[in-house]
Structures are given as C-alpha cells and as structure tokens.
Structure 1
Amino acid sequence: MANAYMIGNQAIVQRCLTAKNEWHAKASMIFGSALKMAIPILVLFPGLMAIVVHPGLLDGDQALPMMIKTILPPGLVGLMFAAFFAGLMSSVDSLLNSTATLFTKDIYEPYIKKNADDKHYLKVGKITTLVLLIIGVITSPISSDFPGIYVAIQTFMSFFQGPLFAILLLGIFWKRTTQWGGLSALIIGIGSAVYLNVFKDIYFTIEDPFLYISWWSFLVGFIVNVTVSFMTKSHTEDQLKGLVFSSKLFAKNKT
C-alpha cells in the first residue's frame, strides 16, 4: 500500500509538479521513496530504547518525548522539538493546500462558478483552507478513541489507500477504465473499508488490522472498477492519448 501513498497523495504529487522537468519529477519520487524506506527504522529504535530506559512507560506515544528529554542536552531538546513542529507544519500546510486546490479546481470551478478570474478562485481557496482548519479542530478529539496517534493515522489512511490505489492502477494501465468505474470503486471501496474497521473483531484476529483493511478494500475497489467500467461507455483513443501507459508511449519517451 506504500505505492498508494507515494503516487496517490496529492500533497506529494503537487510537489512533483513544481519540478524543473519530467526527469527531475521522476527522480524526486524515486529518491523520496528510498528515504521513506528508512522511516520504519527511525520509528522502531526510539521505541526499543524506551523499553529499556523507561520500562514502566504505558503510553507508547510518550516514548519519543521521554527519550528526547532523557538523552539529549537542553539545547538539543529545543532544537529537536522545533524540527518536529516544523515537519508537522509542513505536512499540515501541504495537506491543506492540496485539498483546497482539489476543491477549487475540480469541483468549484467546473460545476459551481465557471470563467471567474484568478482572484475569485484564490479567495475560494483561502476560505476552503479556513473551513478545513475548523473541521480539523472540531474532529480532533476523535483521535482519543484510538490507542495511539500512529494507530489513528493508519486507520484513517486504510479507508482510502486501497480504493485509491485500485483506481490509479487501472487508470494508468487499462484503457477500458471509465470515470464511473473509478467513482464507484472509490465510494464502495471506502464503504467496505469502514465496514471492515467497524466489525474488525469479527473478521480479523489482530488488534489493529489496518493493512489487511487496505488490502481488502483495494480488492473490492479493483473488482468494482472493472465491473462498472465494462457496463459504461469507454473513452476514445483521442481522449486517452498520453494518459494511459502503452508500449508505444514507452518507446516514444525512451527515444
């Protein structure tokens, strides 16, 4: 499911769109994916050290702060927390920007108000960002229902990663895919993920089965996408030109 995060996360995609050219965009994705492979190690070691240094620690989310407080000198403690909040702010503003852009360009502009000037759409984007912040503040107490922040994030991501990856995979490699197939896969796939999470005690034997939920929702989304696409009108070759992977396109890019 890591592929779904790297190619389906709009915040990452928008960063790639700022690249100098296509080669730099591809290189940034590969380099970023390679760096992300080290994250499990970075997450694992502080927790293992915390078990030894603070054996009575009950809250896993307190492992890293306690290790920083115990091991690092005062100056580096402040620097570490500053780096932590800088990374958090970077992730939050990227998410807000990408979500506001998606709403403004893909929903508001084509369906609500067409042919407005850039200042108007910029204002709509700012208002959308403010609304998203308010929604985030209101819904933040939901995370307290989970055993930890990590579990909460992974659980919410499992609702979307599977269906989105199925849509992206078929959209890139299968010409017969239609927008109705993708929309149906998204709705039913997310619904199946939520259903599996609600009744996880019945279907799974582990405590936090978010990876299994992602896999099964991916499978559901894939099947629904294929089924609905066969039942709806396909796109013409001209509409799909340059959008769907083919051996001809690969040979053209290689030359």
Structure 2
Amino acid sequence: MGGCLDRLRPLAAPNGKEARKAAYLSSALYLIWPLILFFPMWAAPIFYPSLADPNQSYSMMAMDLLPPGLIGLVLASMFAHTMAMTTSDANAITSVVTRDILPRLFARFRNLNGKASLLAARVTLVVFTSLTLLVAVNQSDFGGILGLLITWFGALIGPISIPMLLGLLPAFKRSGSAAAIVSWAGGLLTFGYVKYIMEAASTATLVASPVIVSAVLFIGLGMATHKHSVPAEVDELVDSLNEDMK
C-alpha cells in the first residue's frame, strides 16, 4: 500500500504543502457539494408528495422544471460524466490491483515483464468493467439507484478507506499490506453478514458495522506486529510526508 501512495502523491501535487492545500480545498467543497447534490432529493416530497418510486425524483423534476434545451444538456452531461468517471475508476483500480494487490497475494505477479503486466492489467480492466455493467443491469436487485448509492456505496467505501487513511499516519506504519487486505476483507464479510443474514438490521448498522470491523482489524493487526521491524521504504515514505508539510 505504501508503494501505491508513493506513486499517487506526486501525480496529485508537486509537494506535501501543495497536497495539503488541495486536501483542504477538497474538504471544503465536500461540505458544500452534498447540499447541492441532494437538494432535489429533499425537495421531491414537496413537489411530488405521492411519488411511488423515489428513484424517478431527479428525472421528473428535470423534465417538469427545466426547459427542453437544458434537459438535453443535463442528459449529455450525465452520459459524459458517467463515461469519464467509469474510465478513471477502471484505470485506477486496474493499477492498484496489478501493482499492489496481486503481487502481495501471488508470487507469480511480483516479477512480471512488460507484456505480462500489460496483459494482467487488461484482464483486470475487462473484469472490472464487466462487473460494473452486471451490477448496472441488475440494479433493482441491489435496492435500486438509491440503494446502491446509500447502502452499498456507503457501507463498502468505509472498509476501503480505513487502510488508505490510517496508513498515512506514523502510528500505523506497522500495519502493512496484510493488515490492509485482512481489514478490507473483514469489512466486506461483515457487510454481507449484516445485510443477508441479520436482514432486519437498520441502515445505520449496515453502514457502520463494516467500518468498525475494518478499523478494529487494521489497528489490531498493527498492534500485534508492533515488535516487527518496519521496512526502510515505509519509514522513508512516512518521513517524507512529514517533511513535505513544512
């Protein structure tokens, strides 16, 4: 995971100071953006008090409140942004899987040459895109669009974020790739257990429980290996993050 962070940080900013400025700006925008994004959802019960399917609230408000030209612009923007976001996510996931996850899990992926590495990346890209299309076609089985955004995305982003965020802190530098993968897998399994076995669990429980389990596993494994030596590249990465902030 440290190698992944080391590659991503220079691409985002020239140094740690600029990266911190970008992080502050992103945090400020994320405080405002949800208010804009979810305003139509909050306003829909007022405009359409008897709406049977809440998934149609955005489309109905656009068709009723926007002039024809803006409706076409919104539709074109949605298609363009969806394609751009899918491409960006597919490339990012392919890079992380082929360079950071597979080499840690399987020895045969640790010394791939150019052609073999490119083939693995292409296979990963096709698999990810196929799974994305499969989920989109069967979105009704996942609770619809709102169910995917609120329940699935909210519950699954937590276990993924725990190793990425805590891994940047010096206190967790002993929580290596094994701790990251175990905590991520534990969060996913917890989500599956709460959703499909407990069944009657509330949305808050469904979203919070994978995050808690993932955090406990990541921190616990780091504490269990606190006597182990830290690789030199990890110490160098953590020290560079502190130095760049000056």
TM-score by length of 1: 0.75
The equivalent residue for 1:116 is: 113
Partner Cα distance (1:222, 1:102) in 2: 21
Contact 2:159 2:210 in 1 (8 A): yes
- Mark the CA change 1:45 to 1:160 in structure 2 (over 3 Å): closer, same or farther: closer
CA distance in 1, matches of 2:135, 2:77: 26
Find out whether 1:160 has 2:156 as its counterpart: yes
Alignment of 1:215 onto 2:211: no
Indicate how the Cα distance of structure 1 residues 40 and 253 shifts in structure 2: closer, same or farther if over 3 A, else same: closer
Q: Distance in 1 between matches of 2:42 and 2:23?
A: 30
Cα deviation, 1:154-211, whole Å, max 9, x if unaligned, reads: 322244333334334443232442433333222222211221122454443xxxx1x4
Q: Residue 166 of structure 2 contacts residue 172 of structure 2 at CA under 8 Å; is this kept in 1?
A: yes
RMSD: 3.3
1:1-255 mapped onto 2 (5 Å cutoff): 17-22=10-15, 23-107=17-101, 111-113=107-109, 114-117=111-114, 120-171=116-167, 172=169, 173-204=171-202, 209=203, 211-232=204-225, 234-236=228-230, 238-244=232-238, 250=242, 252-253=243-244, 255=246
Q: How many residues align?
A: 236
List gaps (5 residues or longer) in structure 2.
none
Unaligned runs of 5+ in 1: 1-9
1:4 aligns with: none
Aligned AA (2:54):
G
Counterpart CA distance in 2 for 1:86 and 1:112 is 38
1:3 aligns to what?
Answer: none
Once residues 94 and 177 of structure 2 are traced to their aligned partners in structure 1, the CA distance between those partners, rounded to angstroms, is 22
User: CA separation of 1:14/1:146 partners in 2, compared to 1, >3 Å: closer, same or farther?
Assistant: farther
Cα distance in 1 for partners of 2:183, 2:138 equals 26
Q: Which moved more, 1:69-78 or 1:30-39?
A: 30-39
Cα shift at 1:80: 1.1
Distance in 2 between residues matched to 1:94 and 1:103, nearest whole Å: 14
Higher relative contact order structure (alpha carbons within 8 Å, sequence separation ≥ 6): 2
Q: How far apart in 1 are the matches of 2:32 and 2:217?
A: 35
Relative to structure 1, the CA distance from residue 234 to residue 162 in structure 2 (aligned partners, 3 Å threshold; closer, same or farther) is farther
* Cα distance, 1:14 vs structure 2: 8.1
Q: Which moved more, 1:17-26 or 1:190-199?
A: 17-26
Relative to structure 2, which stretch is displaced further, 98-107 or 159-168?
159-168
Question: Identity of counterpart residues, as a percentage?
Answer: 24
- The DSSP-based 3-state class of the residue aligned with 1:243 is helix
Q: Contact (CA 8 Å) 2:190, 2:210: kept in 1 or not?
A: yes
Contact 1:162 1:217 (C-alpha < 8 Å) held by counterparts = yes
- Deviation for aligned residue 1:239: 4.2
